[in-house]
Structure formats: C-alpha cells, structure tokens
Amino acid sequence: MADFFFDTDHLTSTEADTPLALENSGAAYLAALAALPCLARDVIPEGRAEAVGVTVRDASGKPICKVSLHLRVQWLG
C-alpha cells in the first residue's frame, strides 16, 4: 500500500492534508476519476465552475496524474 494525496482545482486551498492508502498509482487514478461526478455536482450547478479536476500526488508530494471533467451546457430555444 502507498499513500496518495488528492488536490481539487475548485477549492481555495488545494493541498489535501490526509493521504489515502491505495495499492498503486493505478488505483489512485481510479479513485480520482470516481470523485469527479461528486465534485461536479457540488460546484457546477452553483455556476462556480464549468470544469472540475483532481491532481493525484504520491507520498513525496510529486504529482503523478490529473483527471478533469468538463461540462458545457447550451440552452436551445
């Protein structure tokens, strides 16, 4: 198991304090990907963002991947 930190783009403070212990970087990527819909529900309806993102850092603080979800709504009519 290894510790990973998850930073979100939409918060004022982007550094997470508590690591999540996961098997490997692939599992950390999947955890970040799974978090995107919940983040989107929190920030997109309020008009604060049209995109949400999560950066995954390893235990040393080195970023290893970033996942993003972009939403575009166009009213027709």
**Which residues, in sequence order, are CB contacts of 15 under 8 Å at separation 6+?**
5, 7
75 belongs to a structural domain: no
Average pLDDT over residues 18-37: 95
17 belongs to a structural domain: yes
77 belongs to a structural domain: no
49 belongs to a structural domain: yes
> Could you give the number of structural domains in the chain?
1
65 belongs to a structural domain: yes
Distances (CA, A) of 17 to 26, 44, 73, 74: 21, 24, 33, 37
The number of residues making up the chain comes to 77
pLDDT for residue 14 = 47
**Which residues, in sequence order, are CB contacts of 64 under 8 Å at separation 6+?**
4, 25, 28, 56, 57, 58
Q: Residue 30 belongs to what domain range?
A: 2-70
Query: Which of 41-45, 51-55, 58-62 is predicted least confidently?
Result: 41-45
Residue 5 has pLDDT above 90, yes or no: yes
76 belongs to a structural domain: no
